[in-house]
């Protein structure tokens, strides 16, 4: 007999544990595009881009890019581009309504197709900003897009659907969960745009979900991931970066292949427990929630919940993605 769906209390906002940096000093940049800074070493090497604030309430990336600029980190080889994407949404952040600053008109991370970017009849603040950043994204050989999450999940790397993304994620090694996925039906992410989503292109991109939006630990993860990414790219040496940014590697890294998206049909959706993310279910058929009273179960053994959250609950919203644990790989610290 299926147990009835339990009731959980109203979701309270998480405390804001970090300082939101003032970005005004970075507005002018050196590229002619606000909040975009490009540094060319004059020595052959890849073009590497580190982007923050794809969503305006995801502050950990802004803290890292702010620090890179203030520390005057420069490439020894190749090109380093540092950008703050949706500063307009960031400027709207209100601690009393912290989720409201995700975007202004539409999700900046769902507009990255040439057809949409080329269609000038389509206008929004985020589309205009994406068009301004597009030349720098086009130039990038490696892209690191720093994000954070609604819930206090363990951090993860979103590597996209291709083998090259997973290979780069394993090379970086942190965070220690690699998510392979095909993105979202609502639109294309920046990490999947152009050559990043082409299996024969050498271009590559990672999206790091560093932790809950305003927790201090997310900044630690963002610093570590950025330091490892820049070092792996070869445009800087490890000693060019703050030593305390590098954290010990986890003893193993696991790879999870996303197979399903669970979409709310109505406001009547409940999880079976207070999930926050990366919960692992050993058996198929385990009840993880209820939609309109009908049970939602794990479709296979070793099922992992990827970024479950009801904070944005409404009909048509993905409330969790389900992934199959593919492998666990030892790594050296």
Q: Which helix (H) or strand (E) holds 21?
A: none
Reported as a single tens digit per residue, the pLDDT across 129-184 is: 999 999 999 999 999 999 999 999 999 999 999 999 999 999 999 999 999 999 88
CA distances 305 to 1, 36, 166, 250, 279, Å, are 24, 35, 19, 20, 5
Question: What does the DSSP assignment read for 85-148?
Answer: --HHHHTT--TTSGGGGS-SSS-GGGB--HHHHH-TT---HHHHHHHHHHHHHHH-SEEEEEEE
Q: Tokens 């609604």 map to which residue?
A: 150
Reported as a single tens digit per residue, the pLDDT across 63-95 is: 999 999 999 999 999 999 999 999 999 999 987
Domains and CATH numbers, the chain: 24-252 (3.40.630.10), 256-327 (2.40.50)
Please answer whether residues 112 and 69 qualify as being in contact, where contact means their C-beta atoms are separated by less than 8 angstroms. Answer: no
E-only strand ranges, the chain: 36-40, 47-52, 79-84, 142-149, 156-158, 177-180, 204-212, 252-263, 269-271, 280-281, 287-291, 294-297, 303-306, 318-330
Q: Tokens 């095909």 map to which residue?
A: 182
* Average pLDDT of the residues in 206-232: 98
* Average pLDDT of the residues in 87-114: 92
Query: What residues have CB less than 8 Å from 194, skipping those under 6 apart?
Result: 114, 137, 138, 201, 203
Q: How confident is the model at residue 28 (pLDDT cuts 50, 70, 90)?
A: very high
CA distance 187 to 176: 27
Please answer whether residues 225 and 175 qualify as being in contact, where contact means their C-beta atoms are separated by less than 8 angstroms. Answer: yes
End-to-end CA distance of the chain: 47
Q: What local confidence, expressed as pLDDT, does residue 185 receive?
A: 81
Q: Tokens 């999940």 map to which residue?
A: 153
Cis before 175 (ω within 30): yes
Please answer whether residues 288 and 310 qualify as being in contact, where contact means their C-beta atoms are separated by less than 8 angstroms. Answer: no
Instruction: Count CB neighbours of 17 within 10 A.
Output: 13
Specify the DSSP class assigned to residue 6: P
The answer on pLDDT for 271 being more than 70 is yes
Q: How confident is the model at residue 98 (pLDDT cuts 50, 70, 90)?
A: confident
CA distances 142 to 88, 117, 304, Å, are 25, 21, 28
């Amino acid at each position: 007999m299926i147990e009835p769906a339990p009731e959980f209390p109203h979701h309270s906002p998480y405390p804001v544990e970090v300082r939101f940096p003032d970005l005004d000093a970075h507005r002018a940049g050196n590229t002619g595009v606000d909040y975009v800074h490009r540094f060319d070493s004059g020595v052959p090497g890849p073009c590497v881009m580190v982007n923050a604030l794809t969503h305006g309430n995801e502050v950990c990336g802004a803290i890292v890019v702010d620090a890179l600029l203030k520390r005057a980190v420069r490439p020894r080889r190749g090109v380093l581009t540092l950008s703050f994407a949706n500063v307009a949404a960031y400027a709207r952040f209100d601690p009393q309504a912290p989720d409201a600053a995700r975007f202004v008109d539409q999700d900046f991370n769902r507009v990255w197709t040439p057809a949409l970017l080329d269609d000038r009849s389509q206008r929004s603040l985020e589309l205009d900003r994406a068009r301004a950043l597009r030349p720098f994204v086009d130039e990038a050989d490696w892209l690191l897009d720093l994000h954070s999450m609604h819930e206090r999940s363990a951090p993860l790397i979103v590597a996209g659907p291709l083998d090259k993304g997973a290979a780069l994620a394993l090379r970086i090694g942190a965070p220690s969960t690699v998510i392979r996925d095909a993105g979202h039906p609502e639109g294309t992410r920046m990490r999947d745009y152009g050559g990043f989503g082409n299996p024969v292109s050498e271009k590559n991109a990672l999206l790091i979900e560093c932790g809950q939006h305003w927790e201090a630990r997310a900044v630690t993860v963002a610093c570590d991931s950025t330091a490892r990414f820049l070092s792996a790219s070869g445009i800087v040496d490890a000693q060019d970066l703050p030593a305390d940014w590098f954290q010990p590697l986890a003893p193993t890294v696991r790879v999870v292949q996303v197979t399903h998206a669970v979409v709310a049909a109505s406001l009547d959706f409940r999880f079976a427990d207070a999930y926050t993310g990366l919960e692992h279910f050993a058996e198929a058929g385990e009840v993880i929630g209820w939609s309109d009273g009908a049970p939602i179960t794990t479709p296979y053994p070793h099922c992992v919940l990827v970024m479950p959250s009801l904070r944005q609950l409404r009909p048509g919203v993905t409330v969790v993605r389900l992934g199959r644990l593919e492998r666990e790989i030892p790594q050296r610290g």
